[in-house]
Structure 1
Amino acid sequence: MKINCGGLITNEFNDVLLWQEADERWQCPGGALVSGGQLPAARLAELVEAQTGLRVLPIRLVGLYTTAGDTLTLMFRCLQKGGTRQETQARFFQLGHLPPTLDEQQGYMLTQASKHPGGTPHWADLRPAHTAGSFTALRTLWHKLQGAPAMAETTALSPAWEIEVLVMITTAGGDVVVLADGDLIALPGGSVKEAEAPWAAAVRLAQTLAKQAITPQGLSSIYVAPDEPRLTLVFTAVVPDVPSNTATFPLNQLPQTLPPLHQQALADYVSQERETIFRQQQ
């Protein structure tokens, strides 16, 4: 899976910043995450400055989308820190009057980002097979005929990332549910399958463990492996009944035999306030 990062950058009128490529196509600022070990927010800040001349600080993750080309797009809300806008290459547009050459999915992601209240990011599958209605299909075809790429199509140089998921399941009383199989004690988790959205993988993995329907309610943290293109997403969920093949522990009494990444995820879950935490995997 490829990974893109995009940014919502607004001015004092809440207009959104777009940048224009040499062929006059308008794009959401951002692009491909190309290096293992680099945090998405840092990569986004680099791209925005190169594309628009503005220095920005990505302050929170507001969207998580699967798009065409087997791509996962991370959308951030950003604050301006300085720099000088390249006026011929970057402009602010009203959300209701975005340029027609902007890809429809990018417009959707920017609109959702502008409405995000904080906390859990909005996630959705925007691949053609998962979008309803002939209008979407016709609009996508029109953009392709015009040569306007989705952000997902700008990732030719992006490596194939391995996406893994952990599911932080808690009881109504706040205890953590872990898989207990002999000497193995761990959070439920595993790799995202081909063409599978990460949150769908979380549902699959949680249901395999809990033997009951579990819906992810939050995205606690995201970890980037230091030396390889691997991303781990930690979703959260609450289970009403404790499955028979599991054990529960209070957050302050977790076993030290948990794998290091699972311990890190639990520690970040305890310290988390509302926003998704990004870290390099230790």
Structure 2
Amino acid sequence: MAGGLLRIRDLKLNIPKEAKALADQMLKDLENSKRPYLEAVKTSLDNSFYNSKVGYLTPGDKRVRTELNVSSVQKLARVVFMLEILVGNLNIGAVNTKRELYYMCKGLIKSDKHYRPLDFEDQVESDSIIDFIGDMLQVYREELNCFANDRGGQTYSNQLIVEETMADGSVARIDLSSLGTSPYMPKNKPQALRLKVKKKVDFALVIESEGTANTLHTMGFTKRNNCILLGAQGVPSNGVRGWCKLIQDELNVPMYFFGDLDAYTLQNIFRTLKA
């Protein structure tokens, strides 16, 4: 990616090149009086599989195909429209949230009457196009430089040191024991972080409520235990899940969850965190 942005993984796909190939193929089909189509991975429970050795859900072989017709012409046009914006971001190293992309689209549509048929009624419509593009290219949203807002993951520890590689290549070093009662708030880009410990960490405890995590830390929980304490702030965001996975991968410590013993917590919070 341009602009010194860090990669989430070793991605072999050249997204701008792949996007151009898709657009060229659609144009070629139209010129040859064929119906262009776009195909994406089906992201639903009936196409999801869990392997305990892998540790998270993986998609199956089912695909969703959108072919040009009267009812789908707007969707295909919106995909090309949004894809151009995302590729532009990749080329210059810019990043945006889904909310920002929605307003960018609204601004472009308002400024050019030729774009009016693509107008979005609300952000849900533009979000679904971004999700479809990710499923189509089989990439993470973050690999399109579209990052979610930072939410949850407030972390406390007397033993943990976080090193964050900045866009210019410099490294920021944060010793969580020096923050007092203030938490460390991981950004929604865990791939930029590396973890070190001053002493062996015995366990990590994820707490449903960030307020309860703060209470335990203030009352000396992290002084009495060589641990990492973090608040999920409800249903874990992508950033919280990535942060938990980074802790497990780099420190290889057991991770426990503390929350309400009710259906909502188990079905939405715990299951999301485990997946």
Note whether the superposition's TM-score is higher than 0.5: no
Structure whose CA Rg is larger: 2
More helix by share: 2
TM class by smaller structure: 0.3 to 0.5
More strand by share: 1
TM-score (norm 2): 0.33
Q: Which structure would you say has the larger RCO, counting Cα contacts within 8 Å and 6 or more residues apart?
A: 1
